[in-house]
Structure 1
Amino acid sequence: MKGRTKLTGLVIFRGDPGYEAARKNWDPHTDRFPKVFVFAQRTQDVSNAIKWARENKVPIRPRSGRHSLEVNLSQVNGGLVIDTTKLNQIKLNKKAGTVVVGTGNRVGRIANTLAKQGFIAPFGDSPTVGIGGITPGGGIGPLQRSIGLISDNLLALEMVDAKGKVIRANSKCNSDLLWATRGGGGGNFGVYTKYKFKVHPAPAKATVYRITWPWAQFEEVLKAWQRWAPFVNNKLGSELSIGPKKGGNVSMEGLFLGSKTEALRLLKPVTSVGTPTSSIIRLLPYTEAVKFLLPPDPILTQRESNQFSSGFGRKPFTNKAIKAMRQFLENVEGQFAGFFFLNWGGAVSRKSPRSTAFYWRDAQFYVEWNSSWLKPSAAPRNIAIVRQTRRKLQPYIVGSYINVPDQGIKNSGPVYYGANFPRLRRVKAKYDPKNIFNNPQSIPPANHKR
């Protein structure tokens, strides 16, 4: 290859041993054939990779946890993938109440490590998602009503820009980049190598719960949940999942940072609906509560491919919206397909929509839905039904969550970022004016053709 820069770190070209393993993502339909993978072992390796890619005119993709849910985001044919998984330090400063983490850490590793030290680190619904990607997209999960989004807890960062230069940002220096990283999506401004977060003291114990109902009761459970979940005590996080009619059920799980007695009382408006088939409500040491909600997820690559879409609900779904949900759930078949809801409010809604790049703060709940399939030939039908369902639900939702992307969304900038999109384009123009970091739905620099 031409150019002056040499690739450093663990470098795997197409055809080298280890290439096939490096190529496998959590979702098989996002796998591609990059030219080369660089597993960075220090920040300098990231810098060298960016310079090399530019000298050789090769597209760049950053990757952290391999959980990208759409195509051409963390891999691209013929591209260079900068994988940060070896950047996995965790440095807790108990006195300051902060932690510095490498962007290659998985969310579960951080949450479990800090829980043992008596601190809460925010997490979503999977332990193997990379902190590198979940953070800039916002980072939602069952603790958000108590401590805010993952990105709301971000205090400072280290990033390598399009020239290979190491940039640090905090509230005093490059504060526009810190603002943009709190919800402006990964892969837009540069490659992140370190994050510094605020951490919160963990309670000694927390109450976790998991309750299931038969699929046929999904409407009454959903209606009760949507009336209750956004307004319940802010220390209670609740996720509601509804599987496909074929083989699926309804389940609600989450945690309450408080006693079991109080949790039972708070959960009553939903647990008293329908006829639950199983119910677990347990007071556990906080370390065990984290393990309950993030059970080990050892198999990285799953067999099923998925298509997702997402949005935010400002009021409970009408019967017409529920009818569209029902049609979807009656027609999808994959065991991982279905609808997922998460309650909003509390600390998430206390920040104003412009205070960080994450705009959708005044919703009552988050919703996502996905189809899943095994045979590649089933992809077009499954992708189409998710996008068709989005059109039917459009009157009942606003926006979409950048970490659960859907490339069927046209002119996606304002959909992901609301009124913050123009400012994000200006930040992009400052840190990556030539649009080196781009993907199918990345932010175009201001004064740049869309």
Structure 2
Amino acid sequence: MPSRTGLTGKVIFQGEPGYEEARKNWNPYVDTFPLVFVFAQRTYDIQNAILWARKHDVPIRFRSGRHALDKSLSEVKGGIVIDVSDMKRIKVYDKKGIALVETGNNVGPLVKTLASQGFMAPFGDSPTVGVGGITMGGGIGLLQRSIGLISDNLVGLQMVDANGRIVTADHQRNSDLLWASRGGGGGNFGINTHYVYKLHRAPKEATVYKITWPWNQLEEVFKTWQKWAPDVDRRLGSILEIFSRRNGLLQSTGLFLGSKRELEQLLKPLKSTGTPTEIFVKTFTYLGAVNYLIPSQPIPGRSDDNKKFSSNWAPHLLPEEAIRIMRRFLEVSPGMSSNFFFLNSGGALNQPQPNETAFYWRNSKFYLEWNASWNSPFEEQINLALVEKTRKRLLPFVEGSYVNVPDQNIKDFGAAYYGTNFERLKQVKAMYDPNNVFHFPQSIPPA
């Protein structure tokens, strides 16, 4: 075994106290047995870890929030995991309208910190996700129609490259790296230490809603939602979730940057569909709305189930056959947390041209993802096959896939995640990591 000489920060080798806790991720499906964890306290620790790994020919993984959704992405058997979760500095530059945020921050605490100071930043549906990874892959969420993706609001970053050098990227310096970092996927070019985000003034108040229906009304509810959500007022982000039949939950939630009176009007098509069992509409302070939508959870968090995900973008409304495919999945999947998740597109998300940033999928009506969950190892293969079968059946009706919800069954992953931007991403990779030191399943190869 290589010695720890040269490693700094909090270092935990396999077999040492704290190792078992260190290797636990949000999704138990991705857990494995790395050789060593380095919990970096500062940039210097990351530099040393990279140089140590190269000296000892040990594979490297970058971890921020432990939310990688497929295997060998933020952990690798026998490798080094450089974990930045102790690096949580946030500095708001009020007059400049930017924030410097270290990559160990989690979405929930970051968004709430900024909201408490009168700013809003895009966020996803889980507070325990690390900003280190979600930012690089795009970062979808309820504010994407109002202020864009998380990556659309990225205006600078600092990265440690494969030689341990510090690289700064913004619109003036290394702008090709900034372009690639706005949707090109985490861990491809180096290990990021901090991001600089453009901030937006938060409204004093925002309105949230939640509507629940009987599960057997899923077809009627979905058809109404998919016609209504993509073209509704761009201040409204809307989620629709349909869980497995065994679970029985069918609900839509959303965030509106406006008044309750306005939102009640906008919601009329949804409220008049089927027979809702609950309709909740309430105006909060902006911080109160964020707290309602992403309540605080223990970090890093841990799911009770193993999960396998896949995802697509819908450029058109889904026909009856696609809805039947979705229903079959939800009827067959035994997991309580198996579900289909939909998020409306349009507005600021679809304004940039597909090649303006590395994030390509700018012409969708909505985003969809699904996951199968299981507890018993005997159920694993059944659920993996179910997710893959559903992906193949949906292919005629959808396009692309979301790199932050990776699926290693996708063979032509470059086109699926990045569309026609893949070739330029390979060129950027060749500039910053020509020897492909940062490689993992479905990583970008150097041109």
Give the TM-score normalised by structure 1: 0.98
Assess if the C-alpha contact under 8 Å between 1:2 and 1:55 holds in 2: no
Amino acid aligned to 2:275: T
Assess if the C-alpha contact under 8 Å between 1:3 and 1:55 holds in 2: no
For 1:418, the equivalent position in structure 2 comes to 419
For 2:258, the equivalent position in structure 1 comes to 258
Unmatched tracts of structure 1, length 5 or more: none
SS at match of 1:400: coil
SS at match of 2:231: coil
Q: CA distance change for structure 1 residues 2 and 30 in 2, over 3 Å: closer, same or farther? A: closer
Structure 1 segment 88-237 matched on structure 2, within 5 A = 88-237=88-237
Instruction: Work out whether 1:37 is the aligned partner of 2:49.
Output: no
Greater displacement, 240-249 / 97-106:
240-249
CA deviation map 1:129-187 (0-9, x unaligned): 00000000000000010000000000000000011111000001100000000000001
For 1:401, the equivalent position in structure 2 comes to 402
Amino acid aligned to 1:26: W
Structure 1 segment 55-94 matched on structure 2, within 5 A = 55-94=55-94
Amino acid aligned to 2:204: A
Assess if the C-alpha contact under 8 Å between 1:69 and 1:404 holds in 2: yes
Q: CA distance change for structure 1 residues 5 and 169 in 2, over 3 Å: closer, same or farther? A: farther
How far the C-alpha of 1:247 sits from its partner, in A, is: 2.2
Greater displacement, 44-53 / 295-304:
295-304
Q: Distance in 2 between matches of 1:443 and 1:3?
A: 31
Q: Distance in 2 between matches of 1:364 and 1:402?
A: 18
CA deviation map 1:398-440 (0-9, x unaligned): 0000000111111211110000000000001111111111111
Q: Distance in 2 between matches of 1:35 and 1:247?
A: 39
Amino acid aligned to 2:147: I
Assess if the C-alpha contact under 8 Å between 2:247 and 2:337 holds in 1: no
Amino acid aligned to 1:412: F
Instruction: Work out whether 1:339 is the aligned partner of 2:332.
Output: no
Assess if the C-alpha contact under 8 Å between 2:188 and 2:444 holds in 1: yes
Amino acid aligned to 2:306: S
Q: Distance in 1 between matches of 2:180 and 2:144?
A: 19
Q: Distance in 2 between matches of 1:233 and 1:18?
A: 49
Amino acid aligned to 1:159: M
CA deviation map 1:179-199 (0-9, x unaligned): 000000001100011000000
SS at match of 1:230: helix
For 2:26, the equivalent position in structure 1 comes to 26
Unmatched tracts of structure 2, length 5 or more: none
Q: Distance in 1 between matches of 2:440 and 2:210?
A: 38
How far the C-alpha of 1:2 sits from its partner, in A, is: 5.9
Q: CA distance change for structure 1 residues 424 and 233 in 2, over 3 Å: closer, same or farther? A: same
Q: Distance in 1 between matches of 2:135 and 2:144?
A: 13
Q: CA distance change for structure 1 residues 24 and 2 in 2, over 3 Å: closer, same or farther? A: closer
CA deviation map 1:290-327 (0-9, x unaligned): 00110122271122010000000011110010111111
Assess if the C-alpha contact under 8 Å between 2:312 and 2:402 holds in 1: yes
Assess if the C-alpha contact under 8 Å between 1:3 and 1:52 holds in 2: no
CA deviation map 1:346-384 (0-9, x unaligned): 001111100000000010000001100001221111011
SS at match of 1:229: helix
Assess if the C-alpha contact under 8 Å between 1:73 and 1:439 holds in 2: yes
Instruction: Work out whether 1:14 is the aligned partner of 2:10.
Output: no
For 2:445, the equivalent position in structure 1 comes to 444
How far the C-alpha of 1:245 sits from its partner, in A, is: 1.1
Assess if the C-alpha contact under 8 Å between 1:60 and 1:79 holds in 2: yes
Assess if the C-alpha contact under 8 Å between 2:13 and 2:35 holds in 1: yes
SS at match of 1:251: strand
Q: Distance in 1 between matches of 2:44 and 2:163?
A: 12
Q: Percent identity?
A: 57
Assess if the C-alpha contact under 8 Å between 2:12 and 2:36 holds in 1: yes
For 1:316, the equivalent position in structure 2 comes to 317
Structure 1 segment 379-394 matched on structure 2, within 5 A = 379-394=380-395
For 2:363, the equivalent position in structure 1 comes to 362
Assess if the C-alpha contact under 8 Å between 1:205 and 1:286 holds in 2: yes
SS at match of 1:158: strand
How far the C-alpha of 1:336 sits from its partner, in A, is: 1.2
CA deviation map 1:251-292 (0-9, x unaligned): 100100000000010111111100111111100011110001
Paired positions, count: 446
Q: Distance in 2 between matches of 1:361 and 1:59?
A: 34
Q: Distance in 2 between matches of 1:139 and 1:5?
A: 37
SS at match of 1:127: coil
For 1:238, the equivalent position in structure 2 comes to 238
Give the TM-score normalised by structure 2: 0.99
Assess if the C-alpha contact under 8 Å between 1:207 and 1:257 holds in 2: yes
Q: Distance in 2 between matches of 1:125 and 1:439?
A: 26
Greater displacement, 415-424 / 299-308:
299-308
For 1:284, the equivalent position in structure 2 comes to 284
For 1:249, the equivalent position in structure 2 comes to 249
RMSD, matched Cα: 1.1
Amino acid aligned to 2:91: K
